[in-house]
Amino acid sequence: MPSSRPSPADSAGRQPEAPVADEARRPPDSTGPDRKRPDRTAPDSTGPGRPRLNPRLNPRLNRDDWIGGAIELLAERGVNAVRIEPLARRLGVTKGSFYWHFRDRAALLAAILARWEERQTDLLVRIAGHAGATPAERLRLLLEMTVGAHADREFRNAEIAIRNWSRNDPAATVAVRSVDARRSVYIENFFIALGFSEAAARTRAGLFQGLLLGEALLVRDESDEDRTARVGRSLNLLAGRHRSEG
């Protein structure tokens, strides 16, 4: 017997919707053919050829890490290359990390100069503190720890870059003059202790400084030990002449 209950079309004036299959209600599969899988080998949005930034491989860097990376850039490409964004890429972090430690690029450059001055002063203090070392031995130590096998590698390669920088930057000029003046006083005193007059010691200190800077510029295919021995022979020429000379 037909039901007397009105159909949905009778009560609402609309035809009932056709049943929707369960498959049609299911959201599209995120790995289905209509959706591409993410390309995990695609280059990062930082640009072609640039490495992905991976904070897990680079935990939060400290201030010294930033300064060290900046010194490497300085040695390789000069002060104009020391900029926040390329330095952050080199260190594998976002540049926002930089501002935890420095106000701006100028603050980073000032920190480089401060570290260089500090290292050079510490070097002289360590050499002067070698109890029992003769003046000649202290001069030789200064050679070895500046351009020889025991040199501070971080700054041995950056010395010339810092001096080039000082030609156009007042702060760098002040730092270089300060280091040179302090170094000259120590070297003069070593030559005076060897028996030279003040005038002769001052002349030899200038020649010794030129030797250090010249070695920083020279590119030779030799070991650090061979370099130290060769530079030591130059020192013998400066320190081994008759003491009454000059």
Write out the chain's pLDDT in tens, 246 residues. Answer: 554 555 444 444 455 454 444 444 444 444 444 444 333 333 333 333 333 334 434 557 899 999 999 999 999 999 999 999 999 999 999 888 899 999 999 999 999 999 999 998 888 888 888 878 898 889 888 888 887 666 777 777 788 899 999 999 999 999 999 999 999 999 999 999 999 999 999 999 999 999 888 877 777 788 877 877 888 888 888 887 544 444
The parent domain of residue 130 ranges over 110-239
> Residue 47's pLDDT is what?
38
pLDDT of residue 241: 56
Q: Do residues 158 and 71 lie in contact, with contact meaning Cβ atoms separated by under 8 Å?
A: yes
Report the alpha-carbon distance of residue 187 to residue 183 in Å, rounded: 6
Separation between Cα atoms, residue 213 and residue 164, nearest integer Å: 12
Q: How many CA atoms lie within 13 A of 31 on its CB side?
A: 0
Q: What is the CATH number of the domain that holds 196?
A: 1.10.357.10
Asked if residues 212 and 163 have their Cβ atoms less than 8 Å apart, the reply is no
Burial code (b: 16+ CB inside 10 Å, e: under 16) for 49-62 equals eeeebeeeeeeebe
Sorted by sequence, the CB contacts under 8 Å of residue 219 that are 6+ apart come out as none
Tell me what pLDDT residue 167 has. Answer: 95
Is 149 a member of any domain? Answer: yes
How many domains, the chain?
1
Let me know if residue 26 belongs to a domain.
Answer: no
Does a structural domain hold residue 177? yes
- Interatomic CA distance for residues 63 and 69, integer angstroms: 10
Instruction: Note whether residue 29 is domain-resident.
Output: no
The residue type of 195 is: G
Compute CA distances 20 → 16, 26, 30, whole Å.
12, 11, 21
CA distance 197 to 97: 54
Residue 20 lies in a domain: no
Instruction: Judge whether 11 lies within some domain.
Output: no
Asked whether residue 223 is domain-assigned, the answer is: yes
231 within some domain: yes
Show the DSSP H helices in 16-157 as ranges: 22-25, 63-77, 84-91, 105-128, 135-147, 153-156
